[in-house]
Amino acid sequence: MADIAHGLEGINVTATKLCRIDGLKGELVYSGYDIFDLAEHSTFEEVAFLLWNQRLPARSELEALDKTLKSERELGDVVNQILTELYPVVRPMRTLEVAVEILGAQDRNSSDLTNPGLRQTAARLTAKMATVIATYHRLRTGQPVLAPRSDLNHASNFLYMLTGQVPGDLEARIFDVALILHAEHEMNASTFSAIVTASTLSDMYSAIASAIGTLKGPLHGGANEAVFHTLEAIKEEQNIPSYVEAMLSRGERVMGIGHRVYKTTDPRAIILERLGRQLADQSPNRKWFDLSQKLRDYLARKLEGKPLYPNVDFFSASVYQMLNIPADLYTPIFALSRITGWTAHLLEQYGDNRLVRPNAVYEGAESRQYVTVDQR
Ligand code: ACO
């Protein structure tokens, strides 16, 4: 029988200059820069530039990117109108997917697949997707929609548009780092989805809509929201053993645990736990973070010997809780960051395109004779 690479595990589908992961050592590197270094020193805007150019920006280049992102934050009447129709009935990830396609429909240059055209779209989507989610949330909570503020960076402006409060320095920095951590991750499922769509020479908006639809699933980006629901269901430390035992005996997975590539703790989970500790020291809402740590410790004992460790989604749930972000926005926030990685991969793909079209091994019936419907 022919070999089948189920889930394409271990298959190299393309080459990239954007990201390298060592799943055994727990290393994550964006264009040569270790994620720990970037989380310590960089900003989301710098990382966006890094991914789109494979080098860090000069000050003037960073200022130019900052200006472009700020100039692209407004959504315009059509998208705002559509959001007022969607928010009562459509969940945030699908709203984001629809909004991206509407932005594509409105862009007369959507089919411009030249490198400058694609870069413009990448910046446009990075800026506007944040506004889409903030606007959606303000509408559904009956609060006035806030105009973006040009004195705030991408992370702070998003939190401001979402909550109506300019975040404090610690909150702003922690959210900025969370965006850095989620920006890029080599050939994950949503990036692959974007690449498959782009490889047909469909436009960047459709490729990103495909990626958003893929990220939504609970085995991928949707796991961060699911982690929070797990914590809510567990409620107290004493319930951890019985809850986990029951879950595993039903053959269910503990969300935020395990990874196709990492066979040790995901470095992003290490950084998020550190950030969580800093936030927890001053947060009235540290309960879920404390429970996450207890759950992690229990699972480490329970799953000892298996390559199952916390992934990026495990601590992002309780960190976002302490930032007062509602659980159903965790995955959209992942997308607001990953848009940079997705579009960077698309720049590579459109720059050296080949249609993605693998094979399937046929296992169905052979040599059948058609019979008409009334003879079956
Ligand atoms: N809880 C319990 N057992 C698990 C988990 C988990 N979270 N993840 C994997 N396993 C077990 C499987 O049941 C399987 O056991 P078996 O060999 O006894 O049958 C074994 O580990 C291998 O599992 P696979 O599904 O083959 O591993 P795969 O590489 O396909 O899974 C995945 C990776 C999908 C992330 C998986 O670990 C999972 O479902 N985790 C929970 C969801 C999650 O947190 N997703 C976010 C990933 S990070 C991201 O996308 C941003």
The per-residue pLDDT for range 288-332, each reduced to its tens digit, is: 999 999 999 999 999 989 989 999 999 999 999 999 999 999 999
Pull the structure tokens for residue 189: 């499922």
Beta bridge partners of 29: 20, 34
Q: Does any domain span residue 363? A: no
Residue 366 has pLDDT above 80, yes or no: yes
User: Pocket of ligand 1, candidates 216, 260, 315, 330: which has the most ligand atoms within 8 Å of its Cβ, to mutate?
Assistant: 260
Sheet holding 27-30, edge to edge: 19-22, 27-30, 33-34
Q: What pLDDT, on a 0 to 100 scale, did the predictor assign at position 233?
A: 95
Residue 222 has pLDDT above 90, yes or no: no
Q: Does any domain span residue 7? A: no
Same domain, 31 and 175: yes
Same domain, 149 and 255: no
* Residues 188-213 pLDDT 10s: 999 999 999 999 999 999 999 999 99
* Residues 81-119 pLDDT 10s: 999 999 999 999 999 999 999 999 999 999 999 999 999
C-alpha span between 354 and 14 (Å, rounded): 10
**Concatenated DSSP letters for 248-301?**
HHTTPPPTTB--SS-SS--HHHHHHHHHHHHHHTT-TT-HHHHHHHHHHHHHHH
Q: Does any domain span residue 299? A: yes
Beta bridge partners of 33: 30
The dihedrals phi and psi of 13, each to the nearest 5 degrees, come to -95, -15
Q: Does any domain span residue 283? A: yes
Which residue in 251, 248, 252, 267 sits closest to 311, CA to CA?
Answer: 267
Mean pLDDT of the chain: 96
Q: Which residue has the tokens 């909570």?
A: 141
State whether the beta carbon of 255 lies less than 6 angstroms from ligand 1. yes
Q: Report which protein residue has its CA nearest ligand 1's atom 2.
A: 253
Same domain, 298 and 239: yes
Q: How far is the CA of 309 from the centre of ligand 1 (A)?
A: 10
Q: What is the CATH number of the domain that holds 150?
A: 1.10.580.10
Q: How far is the CA of 234 from the centre of ligand 1 (A)?
A: 20
Average pLDDT in the 44-57 region?
Answer: 98
Average pLDDT in the 237-245 region?
Answer: 95
Average pLDDT in the 334-341 region?
Answer: 98
Q: Which residue has the tokens 């469909």?
A: 202
Average pLDDT in the 273-292 region?
Answer: 94
Q: Does any domain span residue 372? A: no
Q: Report which protein residue has its CA nearest ligand 1's atom 49.
A: 220
Annotated active-site residue 22? The verdict is: no
Same domain, 73 and 197: yes
User: Pocket of ligand 1, candidates 308, 315, 338: which has the most ligand atoms within 8 Å of its Cβ, to mutate?
Assistant: 308
Same domain, 111 and 38: yes
Same domain, 37 and 168: yes
Same domain, 44 and 192: yes
Beta bridge partners of 257: 310
Q: Does any domain span residue 129? A: yes
Residue 224 has pLDDT above 70, yes or no: yes
Residue 251 CA: which ligand 1 atom is closest?
A: 13
Q: Does any domain span residue 371? A: no
Same domain, 299 and 346: no
Q: How far is the CA of 36 from the centre of ligand 1 (A)?
A: 25
If one counts the domains in the chain, the total is: 2
Predicted TM-score of the model (pTM): 0.95
One of 154, 185, 259, 345 is an active-site residue; which one?
A: 259
State whether the beta carbon of 191 lies less than 6 angstroms from ligand 1. no
* Residues 128-150 pLDDT 10s: 999 999 999 999 999 999 999 99
Q: Which residue has the tokens 């009334």?
A: 374
Q: How confident is the model at residue 1 (pLDDT cuts 50, 70, 90)?
A: low
Give SS3 for 89.
coil
Q: Cβ atoms within 10 A of the Cβ of 376, count?
A: 5
Annotated active-site residue 259? The verdict is: yes
State whether the beta carbon of 221 lies less than 6 angstroms from ligand 1. yes
User: Pocket of ligand 1, candidates 212, 219, 312: which has the most ligand atoms within 8 Å of its Cβ, to mutate?
Assistant: 219
User: Domain range holding 274?
Assistant: 223-322
Same domain, 266 and 202: no
State whether the beta carbon of 149 lies less than 6 angstroms from ligand 1. no
* Residues 148-161 pLDDT 10s: 999 999 999 999 99
